[in-house]
Chains A and B, each alone.
Chain A
């Protein structure tokens, strides 16, 4: 099997996939958290007792970044890259497939984290008005996260299948 696919080695494709997953999730989380944090800071400025109630909302878009990290760890672990002293042999075609498997997380985590941040702003408004609704407020942003979770499941299943097919 060819070591190279479209001019890049399998290892390069795999690392690019892992990197994209982390970058996509990370950018999404950073933007999402920034969006909600701006509102949360305003609410806490008005009423510092609401800090504990808005903090979980501000943390919610952070999970997409973690899903990106998990994808990267899975790529490194499944294809025997993590903490190895010698470079593993990853055929170019497998590397490209690993790259494709990382795309659901890379793209969906980027998008959902941004939208989750926006939804969380609305939910934070609920808390600002009625602190006792802080539990309900958590549910709406969680609805957005569903699709980030699904992208993680799809990516995990694809990587899992590729490992079974190619790595024995």
Chain B
């Protein structure tokens, strides 16, 4: 129930046996390879570098094929838009994947199809644009090659703004007598014009048109009639479209046959490259290689068994980690607690010598989630949905673990729903009375009680964090820090609680607790032993400390005023005469400053009121959903109304559940991370990642045909 124990492994072998050793380590899948600490050169020869370069090229090819075929692949798995598709294969099949001649053919065909499809796309775009440009000139019965004019006539083809047509005509007539304008049709907000004039007057026409918004249009690459050219382009488009369809059909065909294989091949090649790249972390001498790494103590036997075939070539040693080591982290909790590891992983795993927060937060997360959702109906629905996703959909191990967490959340909601008497937020008049017999309070009627329960849980939650920190410090021998830090905080909180609970003792407990906290947080009692001063100086310091203790005791319990006078007198005297006294007074003031810093706890406690607010929010919206259902039934009559009412209620409850589910996960998680972890937890541990295949879409099974034990990352 903690961070799994790790062993440092050192394997030394003859260089000739290195391939066999690495292969055995890969098959074992339990050794997290670390960087060699002996500063020896890595055994990466030119041959290995060449193999890596070849693999890089093959990976690029395989990923191109997988991505290209993936575009035409349609998954028949349910909810494929939400869940990335998984491909199942055995480890043997996975490692047997290699690019062969058949794959080279496939790659070439995919490149051809991809290029050709892109080219067709570009060509079609050009043709469509040409048809759009030609369309206004379609009625013109003049071959495009003739648009420059004849021996005596010159033609100008172009467009003018439709609104300026008349004005431009007038200017042309003013400038040139023998000119004719043929208007063909609109081109957006412009009109297509053919301006004809005698060749003798070409310069006048051109200069006049230049002064207007006339824009020349020409199709130098075309020669036939515009209508003919349009028809040719349209025919070509039909041909290209047919060719594109043939190409797409072929791509789909290939995708159906080879997509899974290409995805597997790409991932297998990446794994093969990783096995070569890991050599950069090894150390080597002329004839040996040194591999260092970490193995979970519980998997030591598996590693030894896997290395059995090379036992005569490999020297294997196991050591406990040194305090300066940073082993990778694997969490080792009982099966029922593992779903809560999702939250620890979300924040970051602990350091090796740190406590695993999973068992500490599991119970609190369970209750907080339940309070934020707090409905029997929603809880049951959530449990069913989570279990269906886990069992019926092809999801990865991480998602399965998360679904287990949501199942716990559903169970918590059922529990809290029973306590608050909430069953799909149905009015209490309609809930069977035996169900309401378990109801302890109504959150809508006792809002204050719900808020107080939330804050009380927050206080307990934060206290657990503080106590955990104190225990951690005492375990490593820092009991002084524990007393000055966490234990003094607990003392003040306990004093406030005792004062609040025991009537008539409020001021005694609070003043007494505050005084003790100031002394502890300021480490006042440690001052005389730390200061270098004569004995009389230290004696005066001790006298001041005793007077300070007596002052707080008298203030708390109502002692004589002479105590205060002695304390003030000794304070003044110590400040001027005794070095120890001065330091002790300063320590008390620092203690006061630290105690003031505890005010942050108040905002921490208040932060837990969100649980009550979320619980109430879900309940109220649920009630509105039910009331709308009743209104629909009243308006539409008993039969049709009932159908529509059920529909309305169902849809609104589904929406309410989805939104509340988000809040019920996010806010309790935030309470763990921000309010709870900040009291004792640092995190930042590296995940245990043993050498082995790192697959994304491929799920590997240990034996052919087995559906259990899928391993993916």
User: Which residues in A have some Cβ–Cβ distance to B below 8 Å?
Assistant: 48-49, 51-52, 56, 59-60, 62-63, 66-67, 69-70, 73-74, 82-83, 135-136, 138-139, 142-143, 145-146, 149-150, 152-153, 156-157, 160
> Bound complex: CA of A49 vs CA of B616, how far in Å?
34
Contact in complex: A157, B447 (CB < 8 Å): yes
- Does B602 have its Cβ within 8 Å of any Cβ on chain A? no
Pairs A–B under 8 Å by Cβ, sample size 24: A49-B84, A51-B81, A51-B82, A52-B83, A59-B658, A63-B617, A63-B662, A63-B663, A66-B617, A67-B617, A70-B616, A73-B623, A138-B666, A139-B666, A139-B669, A142-B667, A145-B666, A145-B667, A146-B610, A149-B667, A152-B613, A153-B451, A157-B451, A160-B447
Answer whether A156 and B610 are a contact pair too, CB < 8 Å, given A48-B81, A60-B662, A70-B620: no
**CB interface residues, B 437-455, toward A, < 8 Å:** 447-448, 451
Contact in complex: A56, B662 (CB < 8 Å): yes
Question: Given A69-B621, A142-B667, A157-B448, 15 other A-B contacts at CB below 8 A?
Answer: A52-B81, A52-B83, A59-B658, A60-B666, A63-B662, A63-B663, A70-B616, A70-B617, A70-B621, A74-B620, A138-B669, A152-B617, A153-B609, A156-B447, A156-B613
Contact in complex: A149, B614 (CB < 8 Å): yes
Partner of B82, one of A52, A62, A136: A52
Partner of B659, one of A51, A66, A135: A66
* Chain B residues whose CB sits within 8 angstroms of the CB of A62 once the complex forms: 659
- Does B673 have its Cβ within 8 Å of any Cβ on chain A? yes
Residue of B nearest to A160 (CB): B447
> Bound complex: CA of A60 vs CA of B663, how far in Å?
8
> Bound complex: CA of A83 vs CA of B427, how far in Å?
15
- Does B236 have its Cβ within 8 Å of any Cβ on chain A? no
- Does B607 have its Cβ within 8 Å of any Cβ on chain A? yes
- Report, as a range, how many residues of chain B touch the other chain: 35 or more
Contact in complex: B659, A63 (CB < 8 Å): yes
- From residue A139, how far is it (CB to closest CB) to chain B in Å? 6
Please list the 6 inter-chain residue pairs (A to B) with the smallest Cβ-Cβ separation, ordered nearest first: A135-B346, A52-B82, A149-B610, A142-B666, A142-B670, A49-B84
- Does B624 have its Cβ within 8 Å of any Cβ on chain A? yes
> Bound complex: CA of A149 vs CA of B612, how far in Å?
10
* Chain A residues whose CB sits within 8 angstroms of the CB of B673 once the complex forms: 139
> Bound complex: CA of A49 vs CA of B662, how far in Å?
20
> Bound complex: CA of A49 vs CA of B667, how far in Å?
26
> Bound complex: CA of A6 vs CA of B612, how far in Å?
35
* Chain A residues whose CB sits within 8 angstroms of the CB of B658 once the complex forms: 59
> Bound complex: CA of A110 vs CA of B559, how far in Å?
55
* Chain B residues whose CB sits within 8 angstroms of the CB of A138 once the complex forms: 665-666, 669
* Chain A residues whose CB sits within 8 angstroms of the CB of B81 once the complex forms: 48, 51-52
> Bound complex: CA of A157 vs CA of B448, how far in Å?
8
Partner of A66, one of B347, B621, B666: B621
Residue of B nearest to A76 (CB): B624
Contact in complex: A83, B617 (CB < 8 Å): no
> Bound complex: CA of A146 vs CA of B613, how far in Å?
11
Residue of B nearest to A49 (CB): B84
Dominant secondary structure of chain A at its interface with chain B:
helix
- From residue A131, how far is it (CB to closest CB) to chain B in Å? 9
Contact in complex: A146, B607 (CB < 8 Å): yes
- From residue A101, how far is it (CB to closest CB) to chain B in Å? 13
- Does B562 have its Cβ within 8 Å of any Cβ on chain A? no
- From residue B642, how far is it (CB to closest CB) to chain A in Å? 19
> Bound complex: CA of A157 vs CA of B620, how far in Å?
15
> Bound complex: CA of A69 vs CA of B669, how far in Å?
25
- Does B627 have its Cβ within 8 Å of any Cβ on chain A? yes
- Does B674 have its Cβ within 8 Å of any Cβ on chain A? yes
> Bound complex: CA of A66 vs CA of B658, how far in Å?
13
Residue of B nearest to A131 (CB): B84
> Bound complex: CA of A138 vs CA of B402, how far in Å?
15
Contact in complex: B659, A59 (CB < 8 Å): yes
Contact in complex: B614, A73 (CB < 8 Å): no
- From residue A30, how far is it (CB to closest CB) to chain B in Å? 15
> Bound complex: CA of A150 vs CA of B608, how far in Å?
10
* Chain A residues whose CB sits within 8 angstroms of the CB of B674 once the complex forms: 143
Contact in complex: B346, A73 (CB < 8 Å): no
**CB interface residues, B 565-585, toward A, < 8 Å:** none
Residue of A nearest to B606 (CB): A150
Contact in complex: A73, B613 (CB < 8 Å): no
> Bound complex: CA of A73 vs CA of B84, how far in Å?
41
- From residue B648, how far is it (CB to closest CB) to chain A in Å? 16
Answer whether A150 and B609 are a contact pair too, CB < 8 Å, given A60-B662, A143-B674, A156-B616: yes
* Chain A residues whose CB sits within 8 angstroms of the CB of B667 once the complex forms: 142, 145, 149
* Chain A residues whose CB sits within 8 angstroms of the CB of B669 once the complex forms: 135, 138-139, 142
Residue of A nearest to B83 (CB): A52
> Bound complex: CA of A83 vs CA of B624, how far in Å?
11
> Bound complex: CA of A94 vs CA of B656, how far in Å?
31
> Bound complex: CA of A143 vs CA of B82, how far in Å?
27
Residue of A nearest to B665 (CB): A138
Residue of A nearest to B667 (CB): A142
Mark contacts of B214-227 with chain A using CB atoms, 8 A cut-off: 1 yes-contact digit, 0 otherwise.
00000000000000
> Bound complex: CA of A132 vs CA of B593, how far in Å?
42
**CB interface residues, B 331-375, toward A, < 8 Å:** 342, 346-347
- From residue B624, how far is it (CB to closest CB) to chain A in Å? 6
Residue of B nearest to A136 (CB): B346
Contact in complex: B662, A59 (CB < 8 Å): yes
Residue of B nearest to A133 (CB): B346
**CB interface residues, B 61-91, toward A, < 8 Å:** 81-84
* Chain B residues whose CB sits within 8 angstroms of the CB of A67 once the complex forms: 617
Residue of B nearest to A135 (CB): B346
